[in-house]
Every structure is written in C-alpha cells, then in structure tokens.
Amino acid sequence: MRRHRTGFIDRRKHTVTTTRVILQARTGSTRLPAKVLLPVGGLPLVVLAARRAANTGLSVVVATSDTAEDQCLAATVEQAGIRCVRGSLENVLERFLGATDECDDATQIVRLTADNVFPDGRFVEELCARFQQQGGDYLGTHSPADGLPYGLSAEVFRLGALRRIAAAGADAADREHVTVSLRRGTTPFRPGELVGDFSHLRCTVDSYDDYQRAVAILAGVEDPVRVSWAELLQRLERNYPEPQLRSACGEPTLVLGSAQLGLPHYGRTNRTGQLPRTSALQLVRGAVTHGVREFDTARAYGEAEELLGAAVVGLGSSPRLITKLDPLAELKPEDRRDAVRIAVEASVFRSCRELRRNVLPVVLLHRWSHRNDWQGAVWERLVELQTAGVIERLGASVSTPAEAAAALADAAIQHLQFPFNLLDHRWRSAGIDELARQRPDVAIHVRSVFLQGLLLNSAEFWPSIPGVDPADLLARLDDGVSRLGRQDRMDLCLAYVRSQPWIHGVVVGVDSSLQLLEIIGHFRRASLPKAVGAELAAEFAGLPEGLLNPALWPARSGQ
C-alpha cells in the first residue's frame, strides 16, 4: 500500500480508504489543570500534538467539549488553523461521532489524545497500514504489552464499527473511553522499527513532572513538529536511564503492597512486626528510586495510606497509588442509602487526605458484595465521585473465582485484584484467565503469590488442613527450584505468576529494604516459559480450598 493524500490505496479492492485523525482534548485535567495549553516545543501542547499527527498530510480534527471551560482551548486550536469540533464533556463517544458525521462507514478513525506528543504522522501511517493488512475493526497500542513507553499510543478503527456500538446503546465505559468494546481480545500494535522494550519509560503529560520531562526532551530539537517519534524515543531513553526494576515486555510489573507497613501484625508468617516509621519511609522511597511505579494500599491497612502519602510527596516521579474503599463493617444491611453514601464519601476523601492526592488513581471495592449491597448505593456514589474527577478508575478486590467472573462480566469494572499463586488451581479451572484475556481494558493485579508466606517458610507455619502434607508440598517446590534452575522458592513462585500474560501486576509486600532488593532481582530474571509454567502448576492441581483460601484456615494456637 502507498499513501495518497489523507487516504490509503488498497490494491486488492482498488479503493481509497479515507483516514481521519481525531485528537481528544480537554482543559479540565484534575492532576495538571489546563495542561493541553502549556507550551512545549514553542507551541501549546494540543497544537503540537495535532501538527505532529498531521506532519505527513493526514487530516486531523481536535475534539473537545462544548463547555465554557474549553472555550479557550477551542479558540487556541482554531487560531492555529486546525479544525475543532465540540460536543459532550462526559460522552466522548458522542464527540467522536460528531467529528465524523460527514464520513462514510469505511473511514478509518485514528484516536489520539492531546497530552501525548510523541506520536507523529509516520507512526500513525504505519498503524493504519498494518490495520489495512490485517483486516478487522480495530488495532491499537496497549501498554506495556506493546513494548512502547506509556504515552506513545494510538488506536485505529472503522467508523462503521463505532456507529454500530452507539446504535446498540453504548455502555458507560464506551461513552467515556470510546473503544473499550472494540479493543477486547485484540493483539496490540508494535511498530516495525521498535527494537527492544521501552515499556518502563513514560512520555505522557499527566503531572508536572511529566510536563518537565516533555519540555526537556523537545528542548534543542530543530523542528518539534517534524522530528520522528523514533528520535524522540531515543532522546527519552538517553536522558531518563533505566531503573533497576524492569519487567520484560508483556509480563506483569511489581506492585508494592503496604499492609505490612501499616499494620502491627500482618500475615501468618510475619516475625518482624511493623517497621519503624523512618525505616518504612526509606523503604517506600527506595522502591520508587529502584523503579517501582505502583503501590497497593487500603483504608483498612492501618497507617499505610498516611505513610505512603508522606513517603512519596515531593519525589521527582509520581507513583500510582491504588487504594481500597473502607470495608464499611460498621454499616448494617438495613441502613438507609443516604447513610451508606456518606460513609463511602468519607472513606474516599479520607484516602485523598492521607495519600495527599486531590485525585485517586484507582479505588477498589474491598468487598465484592458492596457492588450491589444497599440497592447499589456504594457503587452509585463511587461512580459519582469518578464523574466529578475525584477518582480516575474504579474496580474491585475479590476473593473467589465466582466473584472474579462476575466482576469481569461488569463493563463498569476497570481494575481487578485477587489472590493467585502456583498452588491455586481454582482460577484456571474457572476459566478466569480466558475471561481476563477478553477484557484487556481491565487491569488485573494478583496478590498472595506466596500464599501469605507459607510457600517461603517451613512446615511449622502451615495450618493443619486435612489431606495436606506441608513437608511434601515444600519438598516438591524445592524439586521444582532445582529442576528448573531457579534461585529459590521465591524465585520459582514469582517466575510462575510472571509467566501469565493475562496478569498485569503482582502485588508483593516486603518488610525490609533487603527483601525489596531480593524481589527486584527476581523480577529482572526471565520468567518461566508458558508451557513449563502450565506443567509445573499441573503438579499441584487438586489441593483443597481449605488450604487455598486463607479465610478458611484455623487460627494458630495462642492467637
């Protein structure tokens, strides 16, 4: 195929397929207000992003809202000679349809966002050419599986497919994020000239640190509009060296859990208790320095939220803080909806205060039952707070495969966390891995990868479960370590979980800086080949739920 003006000639059909690039923009960013109007490379960010996307002749339209807040944005775009279309603030899908009302169903629509200036016309054209070659309705990047930095992203899809979704009654996820239904089950786009894995890098503009990075990368560039995405990537890698922690492309990243930092006695095998505050602060800051970019916490984790907030304030990088709603244990089934809504609001704003964030990146239900309890009042209030910009993404922490399946069937769920480890066959048996693959829009994080420490400790720590021989299981794990050339049981357990392509993050708690470095070292090693991991897991199939579910363990004597 060869490019022809703003379209591609398909020699098989001898027709010209029109391509339209839509650059999604708004002024009301809660993390960095009016960021799209900040100067980068001598131009407002939105203008630079639009001109870079159009630097090979493609047709670019900026789509923003029709609110008074975005009037200045629209005027800036139009004064730069770029077409601007305005529509609903909340219904972005409707905005896209308004920007393409004169196009036919065969038109290729490319979706970009104005806070990402790395994509250029050449990047977009390669994406569209690949889309034409493979057929179908959708192709797009998907970090981190594509190996690209976070922010070097684009999507292309048929306008007809988008119109069908709208005609069928788009759900909330599609109205806000446009392509959720289209991208389910698709393979991510990776440009041909990309050599290596750069998914640990970041080039979006979401915070002031990100903005400073973008300004620095484009400083000294002779022509910011025409410089290629590949050259910008080289500059990014050269100026922002690789952290010690780095996951292979497509593998889960390390998410540092904080329960051990906030509670005096957490976990069956905890022998050290809660770290002193100074040591805990140093551990968190050290983790960020080494490349940990996500932390998991909860209102129920004692001092953990406050400690994380204090530890990361003022740091050069801005890690993602994932928290969970209060368990709401004080509420009764018969409580009124308004009381429930107040409790939810109190939990969320307490998290904002403790984490020192105006906006919470991710809030999870601590109990899946709260998705529907009190006639849906909990979830209703969370969605309202998300719409108001207090929460970016909503999800749930679940405990059983049945709960996970229900969550993955819920289009409103954007993030899911559950326990998973080498011994736990329940998730594979229930097909949760396949359900997760069908929802690439949902971030999947797993916890309890060491079964609350049992897999790393001697048999004396194990609960007494009928039909379970701890010494035998530990011996079989040690045999796997030896047979597969792993360093120890921790390495074996992590290598297995990291071999699961449908998992995006592994939540691991640590109680010392030394243990953190040990885990980071394991993440730098190769994971198990998928087939080897499946064979290993099959050796432990059939273990009883009484072992796999810590909620069913008998209490230890003396507790």
Q: What's the pLDDT score for residue 375?
A: 94
Residue 330 forms part of a structural domain: yes
What's the CA gap between 513 and 519, in Å, rounded? 10
Q: What is the pLDDT of residues 7-59, one digit of tens each?
A: 443 333 333 458 999 999 999 877 688 999 999 999 999 999 999 999 999 99
- Rounded to an integer, the average pLDDT of 408-432 is 96
If asked whether residues 176 and 292 sit together in one domain, one would say no
If asked whether residues 323 and 213 sit together in one domain, one would say no
CA neighbor of 242 nearest in space, from 204, 214, 200, 278: 200
If asked whether residues 404 and 498 sit together in one domain, one would say yes
pLDDT band at 248 (very low <50, low <70, confident <90, very high): low
CA neighbor of 325 nearest in space, from 282, 377, 288: 377
For 441, the domain range is 253-552
Domain end (from 185, 206, 239) = 239
What's the CA gap between 445 and 320, in Å, rounded? 13
DSSP H/E element including 256: strand 253-257
Strand partners, 20: 59, 109
pLDDT top residue among 288 and 477: 477
Residue 245 forms part of a structural domain: no
If asked whether residues 233 and 275 sit together in one domain, one would say no
Taking the CA of residue 367 as centre, how many other CA atoms within 13 Å lie in the half-sphere pointing to its CB? 11
CATH at residue 349: 3.20.20.100
Q: What's the pLDDT score for residue 556?
A: 65
- pTM above the 0.85 mark? no
Structure tokens given for 266: 């957490």
Residue 557 has a CB neighbour count (10 Å cut-off) of: 6
pLDDT band at 440 (very low <50, low <70, confident <90, very high): confident
Query: Residue 383: which residues within 8 A CB-CB, separation 6 or more?
Result: 172, 394, 412
Residue 248 forms part of a structural domain: no
If asked whether residues 208 and 276 sit together in one domain, one would say no
- CB-CB contact of 25 with 63 (8 Å): yes
- CB-CB contact of 32 with 206 (8 Å): yes
If asked whether residues 264 and 183 sit together in one domain, one would say no
Residue 246 forms part of a structural domain: no
Q: What percent of the chain has pLDDT over 70?
A: 92
- CB-CB contact of 96 with 63 (8 Å): yes
Residue 535 has a CB neighbour count (10 Å cut-off) of: 13
- CB-CB contact of 308 with 284 (8 Å): yes
Which of 152-161, 233-242, 274-283 has the highest average model confidence (pLDDT)? 152-161
Query: Residue 278: which residues within 8 A CB-CB, separation 6 or more?
Result: none
What's the CA gap between 441 and 309, in Å, rounded? 27
Burial of 278 (0-12, 13-18, 19+ CB in 10 A): exposed
Residue 244 forms part of a structural domain: no
What's the CA gap between 431 and 438, in Å, rounded? 11
Please state whether the peptide bond connecting residue 361 to the residue before it is cis, i.e. omega within 30 degrees of 0.
no
Q: What's the pLDDT score for residue 12?
A: 32
Phi, psi of 23 (to 5 degrees): -100, 110
pLDDT band at 443 (very low <50, low <70, confident <90, very high): very high
Residue 117 has a CB neighbour count (10 Å cut-off) of: 32
If asked whether residues 259 and 346 sit together in one domain, one would say yes
CA neighbor of 366 nearest in space, from 385, 342, 348: 348
What's the CA gap between 527 and 539, in Å, rounded? 18
Q: What's the pLDDT score for residue 114?
A: 95
Judge whether residue 156 has pLDDT over 70: yes
Residue at token pair 């400073």: 212
If asked whether residues 226 and 281 sit together in one domain, one would say no
Structure tokens given for 316: 């050069």
If asked whether residues 146 and 265 sit together in one domain, one would say no
Radius of gyration of the chain (CA): 24
Residue 422 forms part of a structural domain: yes
Judge whether residue 559 has pLDDT over 80: no
Q: What is the pLDDT of residues 172-188, one digit of tens each?
A: 878 888 998 898 878 89
Residue at token pair 């990868």: 449
If asked whether residues 10 and 57 sit together in one domain, one would say yes
Q: What's the pLDDT score for residue 384?
A: 95
CATH at residue 220: 3.90.550.10
Q: At what angle do helices 304-312 and 337-355 cross, to 10 degrees?
A: 40
The amino acid sitting at 94 is E
Judge whether residue 245 has pLDDT over 80: no
If asked whether residues 215 and 263 sit together in one domain, one would say no
Total domains present in the chain:
2
Strand partners, 246: none
3-state secondary structure 52-96: HHCCCCCEEEEEEECCHHHHHHHHHHHHCCCEEEEECCCCHHHHH
Residue 34 forms part of a structural domain: yes
Domain end (from 217, 239, 261) = 239
Q: At what angle do helices 208-218 and 229-239 cross, to 10 degrees?
A: 110
DSSP codes of every residue in 507-555:
EEE-SSHHHHHHHHHHHTS----HHHHHHHHHTTTT--HHHH-GGGSPP
If asked whether residues 270 and 206 sit together in one domain, one would say no
Domain end (from 214, 239, 264) = 239
